[in-house]
Structure 1
């Protein structure tokens, strides 16, 4: 069959939930037997989010092939349980870089380079790559930003043109919009949605469906009003009230019969009846009262929880599987250095230090790790969290605070963490780290091996520094076990403290491969150890 395309645009405000909506609809289609893939079109001029501050963009999500992408790709992979590739995240920077490169080579034969057709053709080419590289029968494409943003216009023009390129019967446009609530009158207002749709129609796109997002229940009369003034079928106006349980969104769309409507409009028939048993069980587990386990997440971007989106979700996946409720305490590591926030650390049954870059707040993280090690509190370190566990243990071994990483102190006499050999001489910061899926061999008898239950795994990486092998022997002699190594034995992938209930840290990012119904083994082991520490699960 011809590839079908579903396009998602946003109206009224940004961060309205297009990513979750696209992910949930992808799940609806997968449940009906279709192979799907999702692509994010990001209007910013950066080539990718790899060099952007988490405060600006949130988490950088890494794919198997090493692409540094938008956090929405995490939603896509988790909801649909698929593995995407680098063609699934396109930015304005990538598009213009490619077009300018071709112009410099003379590919355009001296022609004047313009937004239409050159930029829009490149955008369309990249959209077409998704089906060809993933084999997806239905490609869902989310356009970042909000209709009316000047930087989104080339993307909107490209998806408008695709209706003619691939046929109207193979395209479907969904507009995700926001209904503001006026507290003084107790009303939800549709006028901003009407204006947003008018703006979309003015550039040639008529939405086939409107997802009306709201913090309050949306009456049927409002949906009818939106349908009338926006020229959309009544049953194609779908109210979507903010839900505290993210994973309930696909069930809400299923209840609204969105799946059936999509297939009807795309001229498709379901290949199987959707089976939501596991998903409904997952949501029921969320709603059930459960004993609480407190986890301290010690980071440097904790003001913006989206900076640790995948870590938070991986923790929740593990907690749901174990039947416990997580109370995540977001602890700013720089505050720990000032003596603040320690009550949160001391109240926690588990400590997690996620990834990050730069020296700010590093000593606070090391202090939290020291607390976890000396008080036998379960600890999980991710990427930088592993490097800092090594530094803390090195300071314990050598009895000096001079032990450090050359990332933070180039002249340290004890460089227990150092730049990877292949990183010497690298000047560009974007896309030059060790990125993507790499194999790891697990050592029998280790905690990591017990968690995974297999001898070899593959995990996603994003780092520039690594454990300095010159210190491997002395660390092992003092009780650190290198339980995960690269196949050639050269790179330390997992380190753990032998004399500790659970102190495991990884150079890779296991959070990227956790799924709602299939929690990551290391997160499962960590949350289980924390629950045992809290006394809500029996110790084995």
Structure 2
């Protein structure tokens, strides 16, 4: 591939959405980034969320879905996961801003007197703060893809729309591009595709001062040329700038579809960038692997948010990636942890050759998760516990193997006589090289152990064999830790501490002797898994589940 001809300045692509939410702006933005990378260009991203929370860290997963964590400890929107999975971009604090975070910064400046006694207003102070957040990405990559959360017309999103409107004037047309994602519904009873919602959505956007350059039309059926021409005419865009965003079998097929639609070529044309032909073969190979699996396994995920699988988005994808590494289709069976408290685990988990207990907070469903863990341990079923799942695995082992019948986490029972999991009040933060202090009265937001921490692995363990190296770095999001007062006692009973912090103070990974594959980790490995680079723990977990299926 020839070296792309690009400017030293970053070109900004702004992605908005209309008609309704959940159309897939995040996936569209991630796909655009993937296609640009296929042409040898570098990309970064930013998600601007209109809600007033400073970050999603304290939000209920039923409302917001998964909280995605970056290396530097930012609690962010789940779209950050799409960006990192589809591209080589690494997200951080500067890649996700909320209305709350913007206003918090402006109010702090006002309290310090930085506005010299002037009246603080949405325009220019809030919009200038938004623009400054966006422009800090200038120079970081060839392209910055900025996704505006919510739907055009939402009152809370207006300052963000106004800010990017202003940026078109500030940056110029060769350095800014507007892409609008909208809905073209197919009315089955009439057998017709309707363009009116798209027309109204674009009209709403134009009323806010923005004329989209490209339209991505989410639809169930292919858009004929005549329909694209109609949309182009009424929405004032070029016909080849109307892109069909049709439903696909797997999200990893999106780069191939948008490439065939000419989306990346149109972006480069409008922004006056030249590159050679893209190398999309890796995506073609990936989709072929997904559609032609050699094997199949069923994995049980026992959680308390199973009614909304978006709560486990990265986990879901990481399991799929683990299957790809083994040429295996992974079927996921979400099982309510509360159902496991009332029903026989053997019945609910029948047919599953792997059991995963994910992260979570609070007492609800905890005993059901413990019953699932006990079933996996006693029946030699491959088990993977993540964060809270690891902590409950320690509780289960303590109760049923180490003889500590009332063992628990102080998160669940503050009066437990054997708190094998507890709130650690001081620990060394390897990211800041400082001691961190907290207690039960600390604010909930931002007080967890967050972000990437190093971990040293014990030789000849599942963890060491999976990673193939002595030291790793993984992302955390939790408040409670393994209680070292019980470490020697539990190890004597067969618990293997296979990963610890460099100072040996924090237990990061535990395993169980005499079990095909039983591993729990304090961190969230799903945040670092990609379709073309599956995480080693998920790869080996699925491999163990496949072995269990084949051997019975």
Deviation digits for residues 306-331 of structure 1 (CA, Å, limit 9, x no counterpart): 00000110000010121111111000
TM-score (norm 2): 0.95
Distance of aligned partners of 1:257 and 1:51 in 2 relative to their CA distance in 1, 3 Å threshold: same
The answer to whether the Cα contact below 8 Å between 2:424 and 2:479 also exists between their aligned partners in 1 is yes
Q: Which of 349, 365, 375 does residue 369 from structure 2 map onto?
A: 365
Check if 1:43 corresponds to 2:50.
Answer: yes
Check if 1:164 corresponds to 2:169.
Answer: yes
Give secondary structure in 2 for the equivalent of 1:440.
Answer: strand
Q: Which of 514, 527, 539 does residue 512 from structure 1 map onto?
A: 527
Within 5 Å, give how 1:184-263 maps onto structure 2.
Answer: 184-263=189-268
Take 2:243 and 2:263, find their aligned partners in 1: how far apart are those partners? Answer: 8
Q: Which of 447, 457, 462 does residue 432 from structure 1 map onto?
A: 447
Give secondary structure in 1 for the equivalent of 2:392.
Answer: helix
Segments of structure 1 that go 5 or more residues without pairing to the other structure are none
Q: Which of 244, 264, 267 does residue 269 from structure 2 map onto?
A: 264
Deviation digits for residues 424-454 of structure 1 (CA, Å, limit 9, x no counterpart): 2552111111100110000111110011100
User: Corresponding residue for 2:499?
Assistant: 484
The answer to whether the Cα contact below 8 Å between 2:345 and 2:371 also exists between their aligned partners in 1 is no
TM-score (norm 1): 0.97
Shift of 1:499: 1.1
The answer to whether the Cα contact below 8 Å between 1:426 and 1:432 also exists between their aligned partners in 2 is no
Task: Please report the RMSD computed on the Cα atoms of aligned residues, expressed in angstroms.
Answer: 1.3
User: Corresponding residue for 1:502?
Assistant: 517
Within 5 Å, give how 1:19-418 maps onto structure 2.
Answer: 19-132=26-139, 135-270=140-275, 272-339=276-343, 342-418=346-422
Deviation digits for residues 436-478 of structure 1 (CA, Å, limit 9, x no counterpart): 0110000111110011100010000001000000000011111
The answer to whether the Cα contact below 8 Å between 2:9 and 2:138 also exists between their aligned partners in 1 is no
Shift of 1:404: 0.2
Take 1:448 and 1:126, find their aligned partners in 2: how far apart are those partners? Answer: 39
The answer to whether the Cα contact below 8 Å between 2:293 and 2:327 also exists between their aligned partners in 1 is no
Check if 1:468 corresponds to 2:483.
Answer: yes
Take 2:237 and 2:46, find their aligned partners in 1: how far apart are those partners? Answer: 25
The answer to whether the Cα contact below 8 Å between 1:179 and 1:212 also exists between their aligned partners in 2 is yes
Shift of 1:90: 0.5
Give secondary structure in 2 for the equivalent of 1:292.
Answer: strand
Distance of aligned partners of 1:434 and 1:512 in 2 relative to their CA distance in 1, 3 Å threshold: same
Take 2:353 and 2:531, find their aligned partners in 1: how far apart are those partners? Answer: 23
Deviation digits for residues 33-60 of structure 1 (CA, Å, limit 9, x no counterpart): 2111010000000000000000000000
Runs of 4+ in 1 over 6 A off after TM superposition: none
Distance of aligned partners of 1:389 and 1:354 in 2 relative to their CA distance in 1, 3 Å threshold: same
The answer to whether the Cα contact below 8 Å between 2:353 and 2:382 also exists between their aligned partners in 1 is yes
Segments of structure 2 that go 5 or more residues without pairing to the other structure are 1-7, 427-437
The answer to whether the Cα contact below 8 Å between 1:331 and 1:341 also exists between their aligned partners in 2 is no
Take 1:401 and 1:20, find their aligned partners in 2: how far apart are those partners? Answer: 47
Shift of 1:398: 4.3
Take 2:503 and 2:452, find their aligned partners in 1: how far apart are those partners? Answer: 16
Which deviates more from structure 2 when the two are superposed, residues 175-184 or residues 93-102?
175-184
The answer to whether the Cα contact below 8 Å between 1:41 and 1:90 also exists between their aligned partners in 2 is yes
Deviation digits for residues 80-125 of structure 1 (CA, Å, limit 9, x no counterpart): 1321111100100000000011111111011111100000000000
Distance of aligned partners of 1:274 and 1:393 in 2 relative to their CA distance in 1, 3 Å threshold: same
Take 1:397 and 1:329, find their aligned partners in 2: how far apart are those partners? Answer: 28
The answer to whether the Cα contact below 8 Å between 1:295 and 1:328 also exists between their aligned partners in 2 is yes
Within 5 Å, give how 1:515-534 maps onto structure 2.
Answer: 515-534=530-549
The answer to whether the Cα contact below 8 Å between 1:293 and 1:531 also exists between their aligned partners in 2 is yes
Shift of 1:286: 1.1
Q: Between Structure 1 and Structure 2, how many residues are aligned?
A: 534
User: Corresponding residue for 2:429?
Assistant: none
Deviation digits for residues 398-440 of structure 1 (CA, Å, limit 9, x no counterpart): 4354110000000000000000123325521111111001100
The answer to whether the Cα contact below 8 Å between 2:355 and 2:384 also exists between their aligned partners in 1 is yes
Give secondary structure in 1 for the equivalent of 2:206.
Answer: helix
Deviation digits for residues 261-301 of structure 1 (CA, Å, limit 9, x no counterpart): 1111111111x432122211110111115322010000000
The answer to whether the Cα contact below 8 Å between 1:81 and 1:515 also exists between their aligned partners in 2 is no
Shift of 1:341: 6.6
